[in-house]
Amino acid sequence: MNLAAATNESLAEMSNVLVYSSMAVYTLAFLAHIAEWVLGSRSKVGRTAAALTAPAQAPAVRVRQRDGGTAVLDKPKVVTRSAAGARDVPDGPGAAGGDEKGDLYGRIAVSLTTLAFLVEAAGVVARALSVQRAPWGNMYEFSLTFSTVAVGAYLAFLLAGKNVRWMGLLLVTTVLLDLGIATTWLYTDSDQLVPALHSYWLWIHVSTAIFCGAVFYLGAVATLLYLFRDAYENKLAQGGTPGGFARSVLERLPAAATLDKFAYRVNAAVFPLWTFTIIAGAIWAGDAWGRYWGWDAKEVWSFITWVAYAAYLHARATAGWKGRKAAYVALIAFACWLFNYYGVNIFVNSLHSYAGV
């Protein structure tokens, strides 16, 4: 059989056009998010500073009388830090700064992101139809699908009513970076796969790996922003004065406790699926190579990633490892996932490398 003849070149070319078109729309969404942050009102931020600096004043004590003449001391509410490192402070007003003009640009940005997502998803589907197989047989296709799923997960949170628009600018920026790397260095012509990859496990194992990575990515973004926001709240609580950029940007983010909770929940929710991904890969390896586990580089780093996220979840369940310490573990875990994605395929000889870059 002539494998090259099995490729629909028209659909393959259409996929390329759709991918580049999505990059153009993502660029417009990026500019709209920038406008949201820049044009959003700065006069409506400052609630975190107010909440954390108010207790620094000498607490007034009010005396009131109960029936019978007993004196009761009323102390004002003091913002305290819990064992998890969270403070009783309000979430920021968002990237738009609570401003109508900024919010308008934010809505435009979300609309453009949705359009770009649909165009990119059409490009992934066209790529699949061009070869009549799952569209994640190499790193180029994996990258396309990964960024599509990441944006889809973000939009799903918005559709569910979750306030995650604060993630939009960083998400669109990294998606553009991902697509730029994919189209520049990772591009592979649409073609059939080697016989070992012609298995229904390709649909199951790789699709779950992509979904897990996309959700882990959202958790990593929230974790990184948590560290910046927590440092900002720490400085305010100690009576420091952050710079203008910090006040303009970090003040608009959700409270550190909110970001920390979001990151933990998404990582915890997808961790069982990552466990299934490794198990599914082992079963497929048994069918394709005659052994379930052979300490191949991809297998090893998948397991290292699993151990890292397991350590993070365990740390979160231990009082002494909540907050910043657990956040560092979460970022290390995602770094392991990234190395498994890029590093193993590019720099390490692996049985998985026959799928091509």
State pLDDT tens for residues 234-271: 988 888 887 777 888 899 999 999 999 999 999 999 99
The CA distance from 341 to 219, in Å, is: 17
Q: Say yes or no to pLDDT of 349 above 80.
A: no
Tell me: pLDDT of 79 over 60: no
**Of all helices (H) and strands (E), which one includes residue 5?**
none
Position 1, amino acid = M
What value does the mean pLDDT of the chain take? 85
The secondary structure of residue 4, as a DSSP letter, is G
Closest among 253, 229, 215, 226 to 326, alpha carbons compared: 226
- Cβ pair 306, 282 in contact under 8 A: no
Contact between 266 and 301 under an 8 Å Cβ cutoff? The reply is no
Q: Which two tokens stand for residue 170?
A: 């960083």
Instruction: Output b/e per residue, 337-349; b: 16+ Cβ within 10 A.
Output: bebbbeebbeebe
By mean pLDDT, which of 44-48, 81-85, 169-173, 282-286 is the weakest?
A: 81-85
> How many Å apart are CA 225 and CA 244, to the nearest integer?
17
pLDDT given at position 202: 87
Token pair in block for residue 83? 């064992």
- Contact status, residue 299 vs residue 281, Cβ threshold 8 Å: yes
pTM of the model: 0.86
Residue 4: both structure tokens together: 């090259």
Angle of the 100-131 helix axis to the 139-159 helix axis, nearest 10: 140
d(CA 29, CA 330): 28
- Confidence at residue 3, expressed as pLDDT on a 0 to 100 scale: 44
Calculate mean pLDDT across residues 212-237: 95
Q: In the beta sheet, which residues pair with residue 63? A: 73
* C-beta separation of 247 from 53 below 8 A: no
Question: Which residues lie below 8 Å from residue 50, measured CB to CB, with a gap of 6+?
Answer: none
What does DSSP assign to residue 82?
A: -
Each residue of 10-63: pLDDT tens digit?
999 999 999 999 999 999 999 999 999 998 877 766 677 677 765 444 444 455
- CA pair distance 135, 123, nearest whole angstrom: 10
C-alpha to C-alpha distance for 210 and 142, rounded to whole angstroms: 7
229 compared with 352, residue with greater pLDDT: 229
pLDDT tens per residue across span 297-315: 889 999 999 999 999 999 8
Question: At 72, which helix (H) or strand (E)?
Answer: strand 71-74
Q: How many alpha carbons lie under 13 Å from residue 127 in its C-beta half-sphere?
A: 26
